[in-house]
Structure formats: C-alpha cells, structure tokens
Amino acid sequence: MSNFRRFLIEFSYNGARFSGVAKQTNNPNTVHNVIHDNLKNTLVNSYDVKSDIRISSRTDAGVHALLNTAHFDLLKLDDLDDQDLCKNIKNSLNTIFIDKKILIRVLNCREVDPRFVSRHAKSRTYLYRLGYLNNGPMYSKELETIRKIDRCLERDSFNFSLPYLFPLSGFLSILDADCVTELREPFNRDLFFKALELFNVEKDFSAFTTKQARDEMVAKNKNPIKKVELIYRTNNTQFLSDYLHSYHEKYEIIELEIKSTSFLYRMIRKMVGAASDVARGLIPIEQINHMLNNPEKYYFTNLTSVMKPNGLFLKNVEYDEEKLKFEKSK
C-alpha cells in the first residue's frame, strides 16, 4: 500500500465544448472522461492510475471552470526517479490537450495526503456573467409600441414579441458568445438586485433544484440547507470592450459571485432565474421568500426560469491548507 500516492490537480476548461463534467459510460466527451483517459496514456509506462479521478465540482454542460479540482491515486511500476512527477503530469497533459485542441488546461499538480478527498472542499465560488441592453437604442423607441401590440393581441406579457423582434445576441460581441448569459427585456435592474439580496441567507434551497436531484438528496441523506454569500458588480464591459465596434456599446455586463460550501444541482441557475423573473415582472418578489421558507410547496411547480449556462464559471475551490499538507516518508 505504501506505493500508492494521491495527487491533486487544478484545471480549467471551456464548458461549451463538453457534455458536462461527470463520468458517462456512453459519452467520451465529458471533462472527467477526457482527463482520465489522457492521464492513463501519459503515465502508461511508469504508473498505473489505480482509481477513477474524483472531480470536486460536477458542473453542467455549458458551464465553464476557471479552476476546478480532482484527485487520483497512482501506483508506481518501476524504480526510476520521479522527482519532477507533478511537473511532468501537468506538462504532459497540457501538451496533449494543446495538440488535440482540447479546451482543458492543467494549472497545477501536487501530491497530497492519501486521506485527502477533493470533494470535501471548504467552499466553492461561482462567477455568473450576465448581459443586458442598458437603454438600448431600439428598445427606447419601440418598447411602448410592442407593449400595445401584445396588449391588443391579449398576450400575457409583451415578453412574447420582444425577443423575436430584437434578439439581444445581436448586440453581444462574438468574443463573449460562450461567456455571457443574456437577460431579456423588459428588465428592472434595481428590482433584480433587490431579489438577489434575498439569497444572502442560510436556508433550505431544495425548491431551487430538480425533482431528480431532490430524490437523490433524500436517498443519500444530503443536506439541502446552504449558507450562500452573493455579491454583484455593475458597470462592467464586454471582453476587449475598448476595441469593439460601437454597435456593441450599449451592452452592459453584470457579474455575480456566489459562494457556498456546496450547491444543489442547477441551484445557481434557478436562483438567478427567479431573480430575473422578478425583474421582468413575471413573478412577485415575495415568491422567492416563500420558496426559501416553504420549499416543499414548490416541488412540483415550474414557476421560475432556469438561466442558460454559458455565462456561469466555477471560479474557485477552497480547501483548508492543513488538509493539503503532505510529508514524504523517509
């Protein structure tokens, strides 16, 4: 057993290029499968990968990572010097990813205590980049006309026509196409921020996930109570905004940072979707409090939106440094 060694890697990826992170037996194009298969090929002569890699945070398809983590165990097969093993793992994997045009990069590799588990993180922080037209030139002139059209046609909301007449993606830079989730007009920015503040709590978030995730939560005795810390920044701009055509200048980016020990499946996308629905006048702001205080009443309803994943990034996975310390046996 002394030949077994455990390693932790930190890595980033473009989630738009993968079918999610989690292992899938019938789909090789997941972050887990790509890293695991190439790791085995990299170490084939000197080491055996003795366990599946254990990724700390299983993001959905389309969600990116600035930093995710995983641990794995290796069994040494020869007596060659491995002083630079961590460096070699990092460089070898990155060389393969670059050659194969795979949008994953290993940021760091370190040996850790054999008892360390990557999923036992102190906290996880997500970044959500949201875009909207700030008094867009078309909207300011045509908004009232669209209201009248939808009222005459007895539609529930003029949101029915607006996205088709003026798609927001037309104003979004192609450089941010995979990195921003768009907020549909009409959009009350102040009400959106007020709704977001309601999530700065320690509550049962089980109304902000799926039925399948709730069933798994019950089966595995997982705790739906999460302490969430959420902050937002405004007046941000698109990537390389100083060099973009004036066509894009009315598009503004809001950045949310959302931190907790862990998150339920689709929890962030449902939280922000609910706040967006409040800002668009689709639900009253009081409903968010009701969903947090009486989640079981909302288990079988789909009253709130699920935001798209393309603006969501796993920003950081934090551990207690003491748990990461490793001392080589003499």
Strand pairing report for 181-182 and 225-227: unpaired
C-alpha 162 chain-centroid distance: 28
What is the rounded CA–CA span in Å between residue 195 and residue 228? 14
Q: How far apart are CA 50 and CA 75, in angstroms?
A: 6
Quote the CA–CA distance of 315 and 327 in Å, as a whole number. 29
* Helices 267-279, 189-197: inter-axial angle, 10-degree rounding: 140
CB-CB contact of 326 with 109 (8 Å): no
Sequence-distant (≥ 6) Cβ neighbours of residue 218 within 8 angstroms: none
Residue 49 structure tokens: 């990968």
Q: Is 60 a catalytic residue?
A: yes
Q: How far is CA 142 from the centre of its chain?
A: 35
Q: Which residues contact 47 (CB under 8 A, 6 or more apart)?
A: 74, 75, 76, 77
- State the DSSP H helix or E strand holding residue 179, giving kind and residue range, or none if neither: none
Q: In 3-state terms, what secondary structure has residue 286?
A: helix
Catalytic member of 48, 60, 82, 204:
60
Q: What is the distance of C-alpha 6 from the center of its chain?
A: 26
**What DSSP assignment string belongs to 132-164?**
EESS-HHHHHHHHHHHHHHHHTT-S-GGGTHHH
Catalytic residue positions?
A: 60
